[in-house]
Every structure is written in structure tokens, then in C-alpha cells.
Amino acid sequence: MKTYKIHLIRHALTSENTEGKYIGQTDVNASEEGLAQIKALMEDGEGYPEADVVISSPLKRCIQTAKLIYPNKEPVIMENLREYDFGEFEGCTADELKDLDSFKTWLSGKEPDTPVPFGESQTEFGNRICSCFVKIIEGIIKSGTNSTVVITHGGIIMSLMANFAIPEAQAHDWLTPNGCGYTMRVDPSIWRMGHRLEAFAECPPIKQQIDAEREAWDTFDYDPDKDDFDISEYIDDYTDYSDTEN
């Protein structure tokens, strides 16, 4: 059966990223430094993957990144690919928030249904982005799109990888630098059995990654020359987001 590729790429660096601030849905620009880093990645190694379709968060830092990497592709904007709504925490650093009980509760993850003040809960965030991602994958399969790029936010990439990628890992294990991300293989038969995608490469494959290719495969517990990875153990149980309201 034919398979497809989807590439999740984090937007270019912002000044707020550099300052360590929680910037979710505030519509800030990518910084000059961030855009310069993207250009360097475009020129290094094999560069970014080719794309039949480019999908982007509606926030400027993502659209700027998409148009820089793929100037000949008009990005498809998906509202539910916005970053987490940090509410009262927006624009603050962890050090500034460390004494707030609401921040401690949110950071612990023990009350996922409790929203941050004037923001969204972890459960709401997860349902929003996962239902959006399911629609993207279903669209890829239905249309037969070979290579799809999604330009979005670090928190979203970590959450999507934790929910859908195999081999499995915790969200924090999928933290990726600005301008980078992961490539996953969409196998329609595996997707329909368990809503799982095979993570098999970092994106873009920059020079350092190419030089250390064998070590990189170890990160995913996967050997491309011995493709006998048994995914059946991962698809016995999964959360169905197809009917989740956005």
C-alpha cells in the first residue's frame, strides 16, 4: 500500500523565545536572528523536504517561516494549529510565575481539565490540536498527497508526537529547536487500525544529522536497513479524536 510523508516543523525563533517568555497566541513576528537561522538551515546539508502542500498556523511567526522556506507555495491556514492559550501566563517567564499557585498547578500537569486563568486547559489544548491533526492525516490519505509540511509551534509538535508517533515517547522528549522538527510516515492501514504514524527522521536533515545518521536512527529505535519493526503492540488502544469538537 502506498505511504505518505508528513513533516512537522517549528517556526523560526522569536525575540520572546530568546527571552524565555510564554508566548502562545500573541501574534509576534519571527526575529531577524530566527529568519537568518532558517536561511542557514536551507543551505546546510540537504535542506528542507519538498512539499506538495504546506499547512501553517495562522500566527505570523509560522506564516513567515512557511513563506521563507516554501516561497512558491501558498500556505493553507488552519486556525486550530495555534499555540497553547497561556492566558494570564502570556508574556511572562517561568521565573516571574514561579510563586503563583495557578502556575504550579498547571506546570504539575495533575489537573489537566483545569484551564490556566483566562486561557485553556491541557485537555482543551490536546483535543483541539489532535482533532485538527486527524483531519490533516485523513485529508492526506484521501487526496493521496505525497509530502505535506506543517509549520506550527513547539508545544503543538511535542503534543502531536506524544499522541501519534511510534516509537512512543513523552512530550518533553520531542522538544525540537526552532526551524526543526520531525518526519513521519503515513501508512493508511496502520493509521486506520490505531491512529499511529512512524517517526523515522529529524527534519531538516542538516549536515550534522547526515554525518551521524546511524546514531540518529538509534534515537527512534529503528533501523532503515532492517525494517522489521513490529508496530502491532502500539495500536491496541488509542484515543479517537475524529468526533472531537474544535
Whichever domain contains 51, its CATH number is 3.40.50.1240
Number of domains in the chain: 1
Q: Which domain holds residue 173?
A: 4-234
pLDDT of amino acid 148: 98
pLDDT of amino acid 43: 87
Residue 89, C-beta contacts closer than 8 angstroms, at least 6 positions apart: 22, 97, 103, 106, 116, 117, 119
- What is the model's pTM? 0.84
The verdict on residue 243 lying in a domain is: no
Question: How far is Cα 131 from Cα 120, in angstroms, rounded to an integer?
Answer: 16
The count of C-alpha atoms lying within 13 angstroms of the C-alpha of 164, restricted to the half-sphere facing its C-beta, is 33
The verdict on residue 78 lying in a domain is: yes
The verdict on residue 83 lying in a domain is: yes
pLDDT of amino acid 207: 54
The verdict on residue 241 lying in a domain is: no
Residues with pLDDT less than 50, the chain: 208-238, 244-246
Q: In what order do the strands lie in the sheet with 4-10?
A: 76-77, 53-56, 147-152, 4-10, 181-186, 197-203, 165-166
pLDDT of amino acid 178: 95
The verdict on residue 164 lying in a domain is: yes
**Amino acid making up residue 231:** I
Residue among 190, 183, 195 at smallest CA distance from 222: 183
The verdict on residue 53 lying in a domain is: yes
**CB atoms < 10 A from the CB of 145, how many?**
17
The verdict on residue 59 lying in a domain is: yes
The verdict on residue 177 lying in a domain is: yes
pLDDT of amino acid 75: 97
pLDDT of amino acid 47: 87
> In Å, how far are 19, 27, 154 from 57, measured between CA atoms?
22, 11, 12
Question: How far is Cα 5 from Cα 75, in angstroms, rounded to an integer?
Answer: 17
pLDDT of amino acid 228: 41
pLDDT of amino acid 77: 97
pLDDT of amino acid 223: 43
